[in-house]
Amino acid sequence: MLKARVIPCLDVDRGRIVKGVNFIDLVDAGDPVEQAKIYDEAGADELCFLDITATHENRDTIYEVVRQTAEQCFMPLTVGGGVRTIEDIRKLLLAGADKVSINTTAVHDPEFVRIAANKFGSQCIVVAVDAKSNSLGGQEVFTHGGRKPTGINAIEWAERMAEYGAGEILLTSMDRDGTKKGFNIPLTRSIADSINIPVIASGGVGTLDHMVEGIIEGHAAAVLAASIFHFGIYSIGEAKAYMAESGVPIRLTRVVKE
């Protein structure tokens, strides 16, 4: 049967990992390629790079990171952050990314998603939806890392993006992001149940039970987490073993330790 996916995410700024990592066996703890290899060997189901480089001039570094990672890791790789043009997508795919994640540009120009999906195929177009509760009690789409409200309802937005040809929705609850309180389960479930494409739950993982909840109760197809893996609180192997014990269909791999 199809397995739920565990996806570690790395924030990359000018070619370096931003959040502190402290793995003793790393030659260079800030090197995303080194970290990608560790996750690959540990049996991560996919890998996600989020390029947070602010200036356009420094964007070339992400292509180099993707290129080097794709040479050494034979697993699916998603790259998000700053994807604005068809040319950006083409360059990332040619560098070795399998999927690109589009966020702000989709909000500004929804047709961009349709064009990108037609050109490259839905399988490589992920639409990232950053949702936050608004004063009316609804879930609203925000851009710019949760700073700019858009007035768009998150559930309707996810449905529209699926209709436009997105292959997957990467759903982040901005209320939960960084809180370690777990995913926003009602939101995740509402979106997962209303669209026919996979939803990746993101934002708020603090414990392994949260990852289980994301799949079992949130109906997500995949869970994405950054800090619990970055800081070595849990390894990928521990997370997957725990999820499997808790009844989540998980791909367990033999971890090769040298």
Partner 1 sequence: MSIAIVDYGSGNLRSVEKALQRVVDEANSVEKVFITRDAALVAKADRIVLPGVGAFADCQSGLFSLDGMVDALREAVQMRGQPFLGICVGMQLLANRGLEYGSTPGLSWISGDVVRITPADKSLKVPHMGWNQLVFKENSHPVLEGLPESAHVYFVHSFALRCHISSDVIASVNYGNNITAVVGRDNVIGTQFHPEKSQMNGIKILSNFIKWTP
Q: What is the contact mask toward partner 1 in residues 94 to 133, using x (rule: CB under 8 A)?
A: xxxxx---------------------xxxxx---------
Instruction: Decide: is 60 part of the binding site for partner 1 (CB under 8 A).
Output: no
Instruction: Decide: is 75 part of the binding site for partner 1 (CB under 8 A).
Output: yes
Return the residues of window 131-160 that contact partner 1 according to CB under 8 A: none
How many amino acids of this chain bind partner 1 (CB under 8 A)? Answer: 34
Instruction: Decide: is 71 part of the binding site for partner 1 (CB under 8 A).
Output: yes
Six-digit token string for 82: 């700053």
Instruction: Decide: is 88 part of the binding site for partner 1 (CB under 8 A).
Output: no
Q: How far apart, in whole angstroms, are the C-alpha atoms of residue 239 and residue 208?
A: 6
| DSSP β-bridge partners for residue 139 | 133
Tell me the residue type at 227. S
Return the residues of window 2-31 that contact partner 1 according to CB under 8 A: 2-5
Instruction: Decide: is 257 part of the binding site for partner 1 (CB under 8 A).
Output: no
Burial class (CB in 10 A: 0-12, 13-18, 19+), 199: buried
Render 150-202 in DSSP notation, one character per residue: EEEEHHHHHHHHHHTT-SEEEEEETTTTTT-S---HHHHHHHHHH-SS-EEEE
Return the residues of window 174-203 that contact partner 1 according to CB under 8 A: 196-198
| Torsion angle of C-alpha atoms 138, 141, 144, 146, degrees rounded to 10 | 30
Catalytic site includes residue 11: yes
7, 46 Cβ separation under 8 angstroms: yes
**Exactly one of 22, 27, 57, 74 binds partner 1 (CB under 8 A); which one?**
74
Q: Which residues are catalytic?
A: 11, 130
Which residues make up the interface to partner 1 (CB under 8 A)? 1-5, 40, 43, 45, 67, 70-71, 74-76, 93-98, 120-124, 167-168, 196-198, 221-222, 251, 253
